[in-house]
Amino acid sequence: MGSGRALRVVHLYPELLNLYGDSGNILVLRRRMEWRGISCEVEEVHTGDHPSFVDADIVFIGGGSDREQRIVCDYLLEVRRELAAFVEDGGVLGAVCGGYQLLGHSYLMGDEEVRGLSLVDLYTDRGTPRLIGNIAVESRISPQPIVGFENHGGRTHLGPGVEPMGKVLHGYGNDGTTGEEGCLYKNVVGTYVHGPLLPKNPGVADYLIARALERRFGVAELEPLDDAAELAANKVMYDRLMDEEARG
């Protein structure tokens, strides 16, 4: 199975956007491909580079402080057209927290409205307090609930046609009031879930890999892996959070 297949992952600005180990997501993507005989080439894009998305299969962007997010946004606005073409062509884009906020039309930094990449119809304003804590989300892209950690001042509002990644079971999600978390648009997955996201949520990793395989090779089937350790970690967290919910 899998032999001869290769996918190219473009990791945007790991030195700036790597909050709560977000770069660990790349390691998970690589391993889950290699365990199935799919080679994985990772290209890290650093400040000053001019990224190309022409041969990319999966683009990943992590979270960071407002300051770092601002620097990255300025870089990405220069290649906005190319990144938008990638997204519209069904390219897979995973974005966490600060990276997720960048996908929208704008986000509020202090009192300043900063222009975003407008890749997805959403925008982010701010609120107090910061939304901090463990989170569990039910989502159609993962057979297990998605678990992790969130910490954001931003409140993200989805446009009418944009599907949330899922429903908050514990925690805050996009804005702490709608019960919605993240966004799904074409093959874009945006989420506030750090952790990092993918080690404890193998279903999300496989969703991204499957969408990329489907686009590149027309086949989305993935060989199952032994996920006993990952699923045990997921379950410990999920059970703990549901227990907290039950106790109010």
Provide the binding-site residues for ligand GLN, judged by CB under 6 A: 19, 63-66, 69, 97-98, 151-154
Distance CA 118, CA 150 (A): 23
- The two three-digit tokens of residue 10, written as one number: 């473009």
The DSSP symbol for 163 reads B
Nearest to ligand GLN of 68, 206 (CB atom)? 68
**Catalytic pick from 40, 73, 97, 183?**
97
Is 97 one of the annotated active-site residues of the chain? yes
Nearest to ligand GLN of 90, 176 (CB atom)? 176
- Closest residue to ligand GLN, judged by C-beta, is 63
Distance CA 228, CA 178 (A): 33
Is 73 one of the annotated active-site residues of the chain? no
Q: Give the alpha-carbon dihedral of 167, 164, 196, 113, to 10 degrees.
A: -120
Nearest to ligand GLN of 180, 206 (CB atom)? 180
Closest CB 64 distance from ligand GLN, rounded Å: 5
Closest CB 200 distance from ligand GLN, rounded Å: 17
Buried b (16+ CB within 10 A) or exposed e, 55-73: ebbbbbbbbbebebbbebb
**Catalytic pick from 11, 152, 170, 194?**
194
Q: State the catalytic residues.
A: 97, 194
